[in-house]
A and B are shown apart, each in its own frame.
Chain A
């Protein structure tokens, strides 16, 4: 009964006209940036963060959340129609979705993707509502060593489960943690690595850092191979799936939803990992695995449901523990702090309207997204005609305004340019920006909990292994690291050798 009461508080909040409007704006923007390659939810949220300062906290979070899961819908539209994933998490959808489109089944692929996402969104909303409260009460019994261990698990998981070199990912995380040290030391008040400028006393500005790392380096990559060719897209004939399609899609949708809901909660998990995992599982379970890659419907239904469920349940660690499970959640925490709200286990009791409002808004938002994406698909296709050489200057313009407006400090823009260049260099060295940003965000918290634990234990490092929660979390992250490091490297090596022969 608690659940119904909680959700009704949430729905009361969302159904206020102004909040519905913000939810709609978020979903609309999310779809748009999901369709457009080159700008993702990260950049958009960073730009809009300072703007939301004047909004009530519920409206702000509802809109920002809408951008994130809306982008999952938009990303799949381009993946299916032009084989160009608008978001990284839709890369898997492009494999079979575009093949379906080439066979004249673009409309079916689109509607299965949207409806699967909707089912997933509905279930994930319930999952959050069910587990949020037990998790927060559990979190209240966590001590500093447990928080420390939890963040270690998150950091390890974020690279272990993503693609790219594990060793480089670890390097990026540690470098991110180090960059997080810049600024004022919380215990002594002394300045660290500020290079004599007070502009860095509060640390490296996160929005300038993120905008440089993502927006600028993405723009530079887009300028490497310029064409003024407008991509061809598949024609959409019918949107309605047949009864056979529905039957074929049901299993994958439900499995994808379950998988996404679980993987999304893991720190470092979220949308991308869920969609990759779901595709692999559907291919293994299928009676006709040979159809995968040639337009198999389950190859669209599973991953699309999984990425939407994952995107939503990745809010759980942020809402219940105040720990961001990915860089986007880190920005959400930034939005809360801007509003003067302390994220953490107390959020649910201190801000019930905000907490349940955001959760309920996800369901409302998913409903809007189905409407936005299916009948209006033609509008989004037209958006793809916008050429890159008109798009990138505006992305840069928006980012510059966003970065500046957060603190009215021109210094933040120099940070943006610097990390833009640095991010591009890292990209050329085959490094992912996500672990760097996650390390940067978790760095100050990780240090604080480590120092607090060590003060409590009187300098005994064993404190992390004596408490059952922290010990098991640390052992878990160690096992994860060993597993991904050993056979993965071997398999990679083997593949290289095969190719050489």
Chain B
């Protein structure tokens, strides 16, 4: 990537940062201002500290927007959308299955699906990995460490 192009993207990055955090601080600040008691310095309400922080956060992030980015910065590379969605789906799949199906199926399904985030994943390898890892987790967490998570969930045991 030419220095010119990377410079432009880098500038963009600081602007995105500034916009993102100004928005976040506005969100927190307005919420604190409208729904919490602010109080006085001698008798601070629940909203005092958050409001103070959101004001500081807003000032700092505006400041970042004006910073000239470094030239030697790495060019922006982003993980493929497929990999991103698969990895992020991991905890969510686990959350949805852990109570209904139980520890064993939840680990099996989560690891199997997540493994396809890699472009080297094959059906056979993923099945083996998920199977082996599930056996390991059941033995270690359920039988050795006695973690209080049921192996089978409410849908299966009824």
Interface residues of A (CB under 8 A from B): 50-51, 54, 165, 167-168, 170-171, 174-175, 177-178, 181, 185, 187-188, 190, 192-193, 212, 216, 219-221, 223-226, 228, 387-390, 392-394, 396-401, 403-405, 408, 410-411, 413-414, 416-417, 420-421, 424-425, 428-431, 447, 450-451, 454-455, 457-461, 492-493, 496, 499-500
Contact = CB atoms under 8 A, between A and B. Distances in A.
Nearest to A216: B87
Contacts of A399: 91
B88 A404 contact: no
B41 A459 contact: yes
Contacts of B14: 429
A420 B67 CA distance: 26
A417 B92 contact: yes
A408 B32 CA distance: 30
A181 B94 CA distance: 28
Which of B42, B53, B119 has the most chain A CB atoms inside 10 A of its CB? B53
B46 A185 contact: yes
Given A50-B147, A389-B115, A429-B16, A396 B90 contact: yes
A38 B96 CA distance: 26
A416 B67 CA distance: 31
Interface in B93-123: 94-96, 98-99, 103, 107, 110-112, 114-115, 117-121
Contacts of B68: 493, 496
A496 B70 CA distance: 7
Given A171-B61, A226-B118, A400-B91, A193 B13 contact: no
Where chain B touches its partner, the secondary structure class is helix
B133 to A, nearest CB: 5
A19 to B, nearest CB: 17
A394 B91 contact: no
B86 to A, nearest CB: 9
B53 A393 contact: no
B33 interface: no
Nearest to A227: B120
A398 to B, nearest CB: 8
Contacts of B135: none
Given A413-B95, A431-B17, A193 B31 contact: yes
Given A171-B21, A393-B130, A220 B87 contact: yes
Given A396-B110, A496-B70, A193 B63 contact: no
B61 to A, nearest CB: 6
Contacts of A429: 13-14, 16-17, 20
Nearest to B56: A174
Given A390-B129, A429-B17, A459 B49 contact: no
A493 B147 CA distance: 54
A459 B70 CA distance: 43
A48 to B, nearest CB: 10
Nearest to B120: A389
B91 A455 contact: no
Given A451-B49, A454-B44, A455-B43, A405 B149 contact: yes
A405 B106 CA distance: 13
B60 A167 contact: yes
Contacts of A226: 118-120
Contact of A408 (B48, B115, B149): B149
Given A170-B60, A499-B71, A413 B94 contact: yes
A425 B76 CA distance: 11
Contacts of A408: 148-149
Contacts of B92: 413-414, 417
Contacts of A212: 91
Contacts of B60: 167, 170-171, 174
A221 B79 contact: yes
A297 to B, nearest CB: 30
